[in-house]
Amino acid sequence: MKLQKALLSLLAVCLLSITVTLLTQAYWQEQYYRFQSKCNSSDSSEHLVAREVESSQRKCKSPAAHTQSITLFVRVAATVPELRRRFYCVFLRLSVLFWPASLGKTVAVLDQENEEEHAFASTVLTHMRQHFPDRTFEVLYEPLPKDPTVLDFANPPRSPGYNRQLYSSFFIDLYTNDDIIAWMDADSGFASPVTNESIFNGTKVRVLGYDCTLTIGWVQAWARTTEKALGLPFLADFMTYFPVYIYRDTFTHCREHILRRFNTSNFEEAFKKFYRREFISPVSVVLSYAWYFERERYDWNLKLCTDLTEYNKRFPSEHIISPEHVVETLLIPQTAFHVQHAQGVRQFVSNSYCLSQEAAGNDAEKCSNRTASLITNFVLFNHDVQRLGHPAPPCPKNREQTCLQLLERNYNQIGLEIKQKTRKLDWKNVEIVEKLAKELKLQCDVLK
Ligand SMILES: *[C@@H]1O[C@H](CO)[C@@H](O)[C@H](O)[C@H]1NC(C)=O
Ligand SMILES: *[C@@H]1O[C@H](CO)[C@@H](O)[C@H](O)[C@H]1NC(C)=O
Ligand SMILES: *[C@@H]1O[C@H](CO)[C@@H](O)[C@H](O)[C@H]1NC(C)=O
Ligand SMILES: *[C@@H]1O[C@H](CO)[C@@H](O)[C@H](O)[C@H]1NC(C)=O
Ligand SMILES: *[C@@H]1O[C@H](CO)[C@@H](O)[C@H](O)[C@H]1NC(C)=O
């Protein structure tokens, strides 16, 4: 009897390990194929993705294990000291605090042709392996477009380096197999804990858009270039919040749409036709595409300063915005900001941290001297914390009770997750990154 049991469990273990091995192999084969096939899918159109994935974690997971896994994506340009500083002090320091490792891996993409970038990436990978072994961090390299005039041309709206970031934004899907991409701008950082509710409404991915910035010249230019790219009107400004959550295949489909529209298989050629003289916001192009072709996959939260009937005049009748897509005040607090524009971001960070610890019933040392209050957290209801374009206070006077309740619910949920140990929120992580930055002679500002 005992022997039989032992044999049975041995058999079970064997089967399990065979399954795991097969799944792992399948995953790597798929990964390899994906990169392979992207590399030669058409001679000049597609982007080359460096085939070797450098990762801080060597574990393989089966694809089934990460349905709905989310990749936190950032495009890094590491040759400029200020950008290296931003990477450590803003992106990394705040993501190790507020982005739960359980949501998925982080992917950083750097310039392939530049040795300095490889050296920087190797340092970051070492740091992540040593200090954050529970986080998967990958580096991938992006080659230059084949045609140099894609980035470098006469009277460009932006520098060639900046143009490269813009161009590469259309290829983010090539750097991960995860279903969803959390796209961080190079100058955005987290300001409060990322929750499932801030990413999903039910099964739909939340997106936040804004029309109030359409009074600004460069946003009007974004609207014109979006329409040039898609052949359909710009829906709204989607550069006002981060991370922007987008299904990976929405990028693929958007690129295919643009290729068809310009009757080419070469995206470089298409890009040159819609981006030349005026500014572009790739995120607004991709999400405008999603509005026309994949509306039901997303939960739309549009804040409009224009009267809805008036605003709708620009859209084909089957694509007009309904009241259900419009929100007066956000229903979920923001989790990240454009740091450059948010002078007070440091203060939001520690407030959010202390409110979370308080909700978990913890006396965090960091919070001993302060009185964190929900009111100071109202700023998280702003669609946009840029200096321009937010005429109204984040939570209007007549909605203050609602805002307080929403914040309370948010922090209670976070507190509960901390108590149940499904969420880690550890200020030590911030200090580790500060120390690493210092070793690299990068000076992080103090988070009060
Ligand atoms: C890409 O090229 C490799 C090697 O030349 C070939 O084996 C593979 O089938 C090609 N893939 C596609 C999708 O054409
Ligand atoms: C958040 O969502 C992920 C993926 O859908 C799930 O695995 C996780 O348990 C959720 N976390 C909480 C705290 O609900
Ligand atoms: C989720 O979507 C439903 C249906 O559109 C909406 O009524 C609700 O307000 C949304 N909830 C949040 C938190 O955005
Ligand atoms: C697209 O390009 C092909 C090949 O150059 C050409 O035969 C076709 O007529 C073009 N179609 C349109 C709609 O311009
Ligand atoms: C709290 O305030 C005291 C006195 O101002 C200061 O010495 C101490 O470092 C502060 N503690 C923290 C955790 O900020």
Whether pLDDT at 129 is above 90:
yes
396: preceding bond cis by omega (within 30 degrees)? no
pTM (two decimals): 0.83
pLDDT at residue number 388: 44
Residue (of 51, 163, 159, 173) closest to 112 by Cα position: 51
Average pLDDT of span 344-358: 85
Question: Residue 229 in contact with residue 312, Cβ under 8 Å?
Answer: no
Q: What's the 200 CA to ligand 4 centre distance in angstroms?
A: 41
Ligand nearest to C-alpha 260: 4
How far is it, in rounded angstroms, from Cα 348 to Cα 377?
7
Average pLDDT of span 128-134: 97
Q: Per residue in 163-182, pLDDT tens?
A: 999 999 999 999 999 999 99
User: Containing H/E element for 32?
Assistant: helix 2-40
How far is it, in rounded angstroms, from Cα 326 to Cα 324?
5
3-state helix vs strand vs coil in the chain, percent to 5: 50, 10, 35
Q: What is the mean pLDDT of the chain?
A: 85
Pocket lining: 178 vs ligand 2, CB cutoff 6 Å: no
Whether pLDDT at 226 is above 90:
yes
Whether pLDDT at 217 is above 80:
yes
Percentage of residues of the chain with pLDDT beyond 70: 81
pLDDT at residue number 207: 96
Pocket lining: 373 vs ligand 1, CB cutoff 6 Å: no
pLDDT at residue number 34: 38
**Of the spans 18-32, 51-65, 326-340, 400-414, which averages the highest pLDDT?**
400-414
Average pLDDT of span 412-420: 97
Pocket lining: 332 vs ligand 3, CB cutoff 6 Å: yes
Q: What's the 195 CA to ligand 2 centre distance in angstroms?
A: 9
Q: Where is pLDDT greater, at 139 or 186?
A: 139
Q: Per residue in 31-45, pLDDT tens?
A: 433 333 333 333 333
For CA atoms 408, 413, 418, 420, the dihedral sign is positive
Q: Where is pLDDT greater, at 390 or 77?
A: 77
pLDDT at residue number 37: 32
Q: b or e along 203-214 (b: 16 or more beta carbons within 10 Å of the residue's beta carbon)?
A: eebbbbbbbbbb
pLDDT at residue number 368: 87
How far is it, in rounded angstroms, from Cα 444 to Cα 237?
30
Whether pLDDT at 28 is above 60:
no
